[in-house]
Amino acid sequence: MGQVIKLKKHGDDFNLEISKLTNLCQEDLKSINTLILEKLDSNVPLIHEIASYLIMSGGKRLRPLLTSCCFHLIVDKIKDEKNYIGLAAAVEFIHAATLLHDDVIDESKKRRGNLSANEVWGNKTSVLVGDFLFSRAFQLMTKYGNLEILKILSDTSVIISEGEVLELTNDKDPTINEDVYFDVINGKTASLFSAACQVGGISAKGNIKEIESLKSFGTNFGMAFQLIDDAIDYSSTNDSLGKNIGDDFKEGKVTLPIILAYLRSNNEEKQFWQKTIINLNQDKTDLDKAIDIMQKYNCISDTVERAKHFASVAIDSLGIFKESIYKDHLLNLIVSSLNRIN
């Protein structure tokens, strides 16, 4: 059983923790960003324009930061080993490619507060630039990685694709069970968190137990992170977290609060979910009613409880590592990620 995590009403700010981690890894991040800018170059100007539009639009660089931090979790001092810089850039390219593809699939109009690339340049171009970024990632893998790392990142790319297809297969279907949904978010979110952590550890020449622990940490942190995102959609405001309340609901996106609400609803309430999610027939009052049903059956709080379970496993996974500033920051990052919800 993992540790019991108590959430604060006004907990440590996640963005502040990201800022602290960014400062800690600032030299690495500077090198990662320099390499990213270099690899965004292309003989086709439109590729550079679109890729730069997405990658340089203010993302947190969370996944490259995980690679850097997990490297230093094992290696005390920076030596001549710099391969993890190239691999961190590869991880960010994979992430950016999936965002481009996601926005096309979801028909998204916004990304990070700006118009999405598909909204500006169209679906076909966005998909092809996403493919370019995947290709760049594999170039970086082969240059800076070894066969073990290449296997992890290529396997992760497969898992991400499977997660996307699994989500699409169950689109607007609130009757799916929780295990299927966990497979979806493991594919779409947790798998790349896990890969980012593993390649940092492998670059630091960590032993098998250390790499397995980092794999577990990344996977469980990613699961917790996504579940809190799910809960945020029905409990927070745009001002506090940069996300409009009810975005997932308005798109008919099936997340864990919806799944739990449908399973626990009576027949009349199930008809409501049929209308609003399956048929995507919504009016102005439906979001409030959806939240009322979720609160009636504790669906949001239960989603948070599941996130806390995964977070506890992630925290325990770091137990084998000696005390260090990097370990402290990873632990703080987990707790603050839970505290994103009001």
Name residues whose C-beta falls within 8 Å of residue 8's C-beta, 6 or more positions apart in sequence.
339
Instruction: Give the number of other CB atoms < 10 A from CB of residue 49.
Output: 15
34-70 tens-digit pLDDT: 999 999 999 999 999 999 988 887 788 999 999 999 9
Give the integer Cα–Cα distance in Å for 227 and 336: 14
149-186 tens-digit pLDDT: 999 999 999 999 999 999 999 999 999 999 999 999 99
pLDDT band at residue 80 under the 50/70/90 scheme: low
Q: Is residue 4 predicted with pLDDT exceeding 90? A: no
Residue that is written with structure tokens 């994103």 in the block: 340
In this structure, which topology does domain 14-336 adopt according to CATH? Farnesyl Diphosphate Synthase (1.10.600)
pLDDT band at residue 239 under the 50/70/90 scheme: very low
Q: Is residue 8 predicted with pLDDT exceeding 70? A: no
- The reported pLDDT for the residue numbered 131 is 95
Give the integer Cα–Cα distance in Å for 86 and 47: 20
Q: Is residue 237 predicted with pLDDT exceeding 60? A: no
DSSP 138-196: HHHHHHH--HHHHHHHHHHHHHHHHHHHHHHHTTT-TTS-HHHHHHHHIIIIIHHHHHH
Q: How long a stretch of residues is the chain?
A: 342
Cβ proximity of 158 and 166 under 8 Å: no
pLDDT band at residue 324 under the 50/70/90 scheme: very high
- The reported pLDDT for the residue numbered 244 is 67
Mean pLDDT of the 76-100 span: 88
Q: Is residue 142 predicted with pLDDT exceeding 60? A: yes
DSSP 55-100: HTS----HHHHHHHHHHHHH-SS--S--HHHHHHHHHHHHHHHHHH
Give the integer Cα–Cα distance in Å for 289 and 296: 10
Q: To 5 degrees, how large is the angle CA 99–CA 332–CA 221? A: 45
pLDDT band at residue 197 under the 50/70/90 scheme: very high
- The reported pLDDT for the residue numbered 278 is 96
